[in-house]
Structure 1
Amino acid sequence: MTGILDAALCRYRRHSTTILRISVGLVFVGFGVMKFTPDASPAEDIATRTMDVLAFGLVPSGATRPLLALFETTIGLGLITGVLLRLVLAAFFLHMAGVFSALLILPDEMWNGQLPTLEAQYIIKNVVLIAACLAVAAEESLRTTVVTPRPEPIHRVRAPL
């Protein structure tokens, strides 16, 4: 029995990063699509208020939710397809920085004394997505890094005098 399991895990290992990337992408598409519909996402209020602060109020309040929906859905589709993956990963990490900034920007809604509120817990659970995308980024870096061999040192041979 362990031989079958070991063989299956060996096959999985070859594709594990791809499966991880697609899984995070599906989560992002799901949560992004929800934000296209007003009041469908439980994080909508926190997300739009955080974006308003981060954008210094320059983004019209009516545009915040659809922009977040488009950004999250685009990140998700990029993770699913793997197209422009480095750019998508950069957008993902930028987005996560914005998400986690809510813990500081909106402290009254995020913390009940020293304990995180339900909204803060909703944000904090994203550390799992960050860890997953760090693994994807590390694999992508290994896959795309070109190793150039060092030139051999030139040894000069002196002619006898």
Structure 2
Amino acid sequence: MTASRLPTPLEPIDVRITAALARLGVPVLRIGLGVVFLWFGALKFVPGASPAETLAARTIEQLSGGLVTPGVSLPVLAAWESLIGLGLLAGRFMRATLFLLALQMLGTLTPLVIFPAETFTTFPIAPTLEGQYIIKNVVLIGAAMVVGATVRGGRLVPDPRAADVAEGLIKGPGRGDAAG
């Protein structure tokens, strides 16, 4: 992606704004994901409170061959999602939290395949409200990927030259002459 240049007087303002976005973006994503998972998980503890409750229960029942009933699956799913939310909010045990999130997302996307008549009015073009509810999880997956990319201590870098040095595309200080 090529960076666009701003008129010189605006450059310092742009640098400060992009630095703030880089510094705050991942924590905001992590906390936002945590709120969503904790909220939606907590709703599943209350019978009838979650609009996804019935479809989630049917999906788990179908995937388990009828062995896991809604009476078991909904409390487990509620606890699972709540645990993901708490992990994200606390910023602790991120690898385990994101692993649980990845597994949960696989299950969440499954109804698009096993219940296409309920998730699409016209497959695969026009999703129902339930289908839209599921498809928006692609955004949650992307957010989790960004958060996951930082579990080793990495961060977003707003300066394109610093990013190029970090990626080894150009030589930086202490690495020989920089390409000019």
Partner of 2:130: 119
Query: Quick one: which of 7, 12, 19 aligns to 2:21?
Result: 12
1:16-55 → structure 2 map (5 Å cutoff): 16-55=25-64
The letter for the 2-side match of 1:45 is T
Inter-CA distance 141–57: structure 2 relative to 1 (3 Å threshold): farther
Query: Quick one: which of 131, 148, 169 aligns to 1:137?
Result: 148
User: Secondary structure of 1:139's partner?
Assistant: coil
Partner of 1:80: 89
Matched length: 143
CA displacement at 1:111 relative to structure 2: 1.6
The letter for the 1-side match of 2:148 is A
TM-score (norm 2): 0.73
Unaligned stretches of 5+ in structure 1? 144-161
CA displacement at 1:5 relative to structure 2: 5.8
TM-score (norm 1): 0.81
Q: CA separation in 1, counterparts of 2:23 and 2:119?
A: 40
The letter for the 2-side match of 1:109 is E
Measured against aligned partners, the alpha-carbon deviations of 1:33-53 in whole angstroms (never above 9, x if no partner) come to 111100101111111111111
CA displacement at 1:57 relative to structure 2: 2.0
The percentage of aligned residue pairs carrying the same residue is: 43
Q: CA separation in 2, counterparts of 1:130 and 1:61?
A: 25
Measured against aligned partners, the alpha-carbon deviations of 1:2-35 in whole angstroms (never above 9, x if no partner) come to 5456424413312321221111111111111111
Q: CA separation in 2, counterparts of 1:79 and 1:19?
A: 11
Query: Quick one: which of 73, 89, 109 aligns to 2:118?
Result: 109
Contact persistence 2:112–2:131 (CA under 8 A): yes
Q: Which has the higher helix share?
A: 1
Moved over 6 A (4+): none
Q: CA separation in 1, counterparts of 2:31 and 2:37?
A: 10
